[in-house]
A and B are shown apart, each in its own frame.
Chain A
Amino acid sequence: QQPVQSPQAVILREGEDAVINCSSSKALYSVHWYRQKHGEAPVFLMILLKGGEQKGHEKISASFNEKKQQSSLYLTASQLSYSGTYFCGPSWGKLQFGAGTQVVVTP
Chain B
Amino acid sequence: NAGVTQTPKFRVLKTGQSMTLLCAQDMNHEYMYWYRQDPGMGLRLIHYSVGEGTTAKGEVPDGYNVSRLKKQNFLLGLESAAPSQTSVYFCASSYSGGVSYEQYFGPGTRLTVT
Contact = CB atoms under 8 A, between A and B. Distances in A.
Interface of A: 2, 29-30, 32, 34, 40-44, 47, 49, 55, 87, 89, 91, 93-100
Contacts, number: 55
B4 to A, nearest CB: 8
Given A40-B107, A41-B105, A94-B48, A100 B42 contact: yes
A41 B42 contact: no
Contact of A41 (B97, B102, B108): B108
A99 B106 CA distance: 19
A97 B104 CA distance: 14
Q: Which of B44, B59, B98, B103 has the most CB of A within 10 A?
A: B98
Ranked nearest first, the 10 interchain pairs of A and B with the lowest CB-CB distance are A41-B105, A44-B102, A95-B98, A99-B42, A97-B43, A97-B42, A29-B99, A91-B99, A42-B105, A30-B99
B100 interface: yes
